[in-house]
Chain A
């Protein structure tokens, strides 16, 4: 449980994101459809979907760093989000995959879906700076 809470930032918790389950050591995150994520009526705001993707990307990276017993400060470099379908008024899920973890940076791909996991509503690719805790 402590590990689950550590994976989420104050922003993520405030938005309503929680750890839904774990898959191969990586958390699947979810966010319920509430007013905090709503854009045009009954649909997700693009920013909320992006925030879920980004949070899932960091959670996947944290899990991989933990598996390698590496401590690191993470700093965002960039993110590119592709919106594939409108996010409807139901729970959304997201799972990240660390494509490459180097000494100084990580490349992560993330998918978000609702009812059908094989039909993602959005995907993202992120680069994250992986700095040593001292600096």
Chain B
């Protein structure tokens, strides 16, 4: 599908979506996107560290990054900006992110039904071949009739 045919353009929508609220507080930025996936960047911040003395980004911001990238991947795949809510989100933290590095969250919407959207993705700190986390999630369309 050509870019012109698309209503939801993540490169333009990100600054609006992450300019306020929780995503704004985290400082999430647009990184990249495809037909059914979106990648956002979480810049390094000292006040988002986890366990004392480890100099490692807390896991909470990665969860938020992936939740946000997943929502945008769904809007991209639907090509519509309708209300959705996370139903279930699983994150496997496979290694710590490098100190000082941005973390990139890339999520793909691989299946849409009338009511649900299924996503999978990964977080990496510069090399997508060497992820820091993998995720799997299901979102529900809020206004949709409850049938699959």
Q: Which residues of A contact B (CB under 8 A)?
A: 6, 9-15, 35-40, 44-48, 50-51, 54-55, 73-83, 86
Contact = CB atoms under 8 A, between A and B. Distances in A.
Nearest to A48: B22
B19 to A, nearest CB: 11
Contacts of A38: 20-22
A45 B59 contact: no
Contact of B51 (A9, A35, A44, A83): A9
A80 B89 contact: yes
A44 B49 CA distance: 22
Given A47-B66, A81-B86, A86-B85, 19 more contacts: A10-B58, A13-B47, A14-B47, A35-B21, A36-B21, A38-B20, A46-B85, A47-B61, A73-B54, A74-B51, A75-B93, A76-B59, A76-B93, A77-B92, A78-B90, A78-B93, A79-B59, A79-B90, A79-B91
A47 B48 contact: no
Nearest to B26: A47
Interface of B: 20-26, 46-52, 54, 57-61, 63-68, 83, 85-93, 96
Contacts, number: 120
Contacts of B67: 45-47, 50
Contacts of B58: 9-12, 51
A11 B63 contact: no
Given A39-B22, A46-B89, A79 B51 contact: no
A51 B91 contact: no
A36 B22 contact: yes
A83 B84 CA distance: 12
B63 A47 contact: yes
Contact of B93 (A40, A48, A77): A77
Contacts of A76: 50, 59, 93
A54 B46 contact: no
Nearest to B22: A45
Contact of A81 (B50, B85, B89, B92): B89
B81 to A, nearest CB: 11
Given A9-B58, A78-B93, A51 B64 contact: yes
